[in-house]
Amino acid sequence: MSLSGNLGSPSKDTISSSGSLVGSENLPRDFSRLSLFSSGSATSQDEQFRSEGHAEHSLSCMQNYLQAGKLCDVTLVAGNNGKKVQAHRLVLSAASEYFAAMFTGNLRESGESEITLGDVNGDVLQAVVNYCYTGAIDIREDNVETLLSTACLMQLHEVVEACSRFLAHQLHPSNCLGIAVFAEHQACTSLLQEANAYTSQNFMQVIRNQEFLQLSAEQMINLLSNDDLNVTSEEHIFHALMSWINHDPVTRKQMIGLLLAFVKLPLLSPEFLTDQVEPAVGSDPVCQTLIMEAFKWHLLPDRHFQMASARTRPRKATLGRLLVVGGMDKNKGATTIESYDPRSDRWAVAHHMSGRRLQFGIALLGDKLLVVGGRDGLKTLNTMECLDMETGSWTQLSPMNTHRHGLGVAVLGGTLYAVGGHDGWSYLNNVERWDPVTRSWSYVTPMQSQRCSAGVAVLKDKLYAVGGRDGASCLRTVECYDPHTNKWTMCAPLARRRGGVGVAVANGYLYALGGQDAPANNPAASRFDCVERYDPSTDSWIVIASLSSKRDAVAACLFGDRLVAVGGYDGSHYLRTVEQYDPYTNEWTALAPLITGRAGACVIAVSNAHVQSGD
């Protein structure tokens, strides 16, 4: 390969006195005979050269031209104060979709040399134009709102996000409502979400500030409609509403019926309704209708399913916590007690059991969690322990008369029942009851069938024992105990045999979840995902929506207005799965999984009054 022509770099010797470049007589005139590459090279030596920092250098040069007022082809005029800012169309179009559409389309501004931008601040306009050249901009408390508005207009997405982050860091109970309104007006989704989340988390502090009292009625409705507000009781919502109304009673009192509809009155106690709500709302007919609805909810628990509405669905923070205790895990026995927070949808270890214990029962009496019976891996137990949830300490209570594991436990009429199980030698049908006043156990009438791993629950002041195993096979029979007559009676049987079944009660119905139907010599034969619901008024079972997977040894309880199914065993794994059932939609949805997969655990709902401080 050869190059011909007069090549060379200009030097002081080649520049004529007139300033033009001239050829030097000392340089050869013909390079055609020179070869710059080896003729024997077998491989190409081509390469791509890239200058590091070329783009930054070019933009820096453009900025210098801007500052010098050279090559500028457009002048932007701030509509707010008339300030004029020169710029280059190409740079603005490359940095902003707004300017690209303005200058490259058929808009009138594409041919104008001076363009007025309505309601734009001059200083902010200058800062934004400089940003297009440098990629840097100062965000301060005194300019962030106007800067964010202008960045939204000019579709400078990175500046919008930077301003949003800046404002998110400034969130405080005194300004979060205002920031949320501003974010919504500017269509800043991320900032709006953060402001709303902050307001929900800090609701009790927010309502003490002036911004809350200045909300419009529409904004109050949006706020009270939020089921994620961090309140331990619906009473706080009512007090917040009355505080807002009393800030301007002449104007706002007439809206009390409209706004009271967004307070969940049925979830307030009859005493609070009588002593606090009725005197505050007076004779307003809409309010009186809402109060009557709330009293009916308390008077007619059997009709909750038919009376359900948005006002009967608890806010997440008022639910308290779920506690999942013990169970079998991959280490042959979990000793942790996990706590579930419904607002954050997270599990955390709240307590530890005093030792290894499997196939036990639990119950809540007051603020004390009772753990009854079970086995420790070597022997069947008759002991009962009590966890003080405030201090985290365990104490021993009086033992049962019978050692038993695989028992069912429930509280009925203020007393604790231990039902059936296995004593290490045989399956049991006997039942005993613990009186917390005398702290003693006594037997009641035994069940008609021996039952281990049955589901036990209380419905309409009666004790139900569902399914289980009698030694030969799993059972589909169901028995009901009436403490007033001290008798067990047979109820309609399940559609299929269920051992290791989970049971829970909601809205006047009894639910049976999962389980297995397997002979003792083949426990892996069959597991279920199906769920049945029992109606005591018709003494009948129906099949409802199934669990997400087949399992036995699943724990179940009512949490708010939903049923929760926790853990279980699928034949291969101890499950972390947690799901909740909505009786009104007949659907199961997943919740956050357990920290530790476990089967045969016990689960119970604990109110906010009994939740350990800081849990």
> 3-state class of 535 per DSSP?
strand
The encoded tokens of residue 531 equal 């769920």
pLDDT given at position 17: 43
376 burial class (0-12, 13-18, 19+ CB within 10 angstroms)? Answer: middle
Cα torsion 208, 209, 212, 213: sign: positive
Q: Is the dihedral of CA 174, 177, 183, 185 positive or negative?
A: negative
Residue 14, pLDDT score: 43
Give the tens place of pLDDT for each residue, 21-54. 444 455 555 555 666 565 555 666 788 888 888 8
Separation between Cα atoms, residue 39 and residue 50, nearest integer Å: 27
Angle between the 176-185 and 189-201 helix axes, to the nearest 10 degrees?
A: 160
Q: What is the pLDDT of residue 9?
A: 44
Strands (DSSP E) found in 343-475? 346-352, 361-365, 368-372, 384-388, 393-397, 408-412, 415-422, 427-435, 440-444, 455-459, 462-466
Instruction: Tell me what pLDDT residue 29 has.
Output: 57
pLDDT at 377: 83
Cα dist from 279 to 234, 284, 287, 483, whole Å:
17, 11, 11, 41
CA distance 240 to 220: 10
Identical topology for domains 215-312 and 319-610: no
Alpha helices in 202-338 (DSSP H): 203-206, 210-213, 217-224, 234-247, 249-252, 256-260, 270-272, 278-281, 285-299, 304-307
Q: What is residue 56's predicted lDDT score, i.e. its pLDDT? A: 85
Statement: 319-610 belongs to CATH 2.120.10.80: yes
215-312 topology per CATH: 1.25.40
- Mark the ranges of the chain whose per-residue pLDDT is less than 70: 1-44, 519-525, 612-615
- Delimit the domains of the chain by residue range: 58-170, 215-312, 319-610
DSSP-based helix, strand, coil % in the chain, nearest 5: 30, 25, 45
Tokens of 126: 């200058």
* Measured distance CA(288)–CA(279) in Å, rounded: 11
Q: What distances in angstroms separate CA 379 from CA 398, 427, 490, one per listed residue?
A: 18, 15, 32
What is the C-alpha to C-alpha distance for residues 238 and 318, in angstroms, rounded to an integer? 14
Q: Domain 58-170 adopts which CATH fold?
A: Potassium Channel Kv1.1; Chain A (3.30.710)
Report the amino acid identity of residue 493: P
What pLDDT does 249 receive? Answer: 95
Question: What are the phi and psi torsion angles at 149 (to 5°)?
Answer: -60, -45
pLDDT at 33: 61
Q: pLDDT digit string (tens) for 251-298?
A: 999 999 999 999 999 999 999 999 999 999 988 999 999 999 999 999
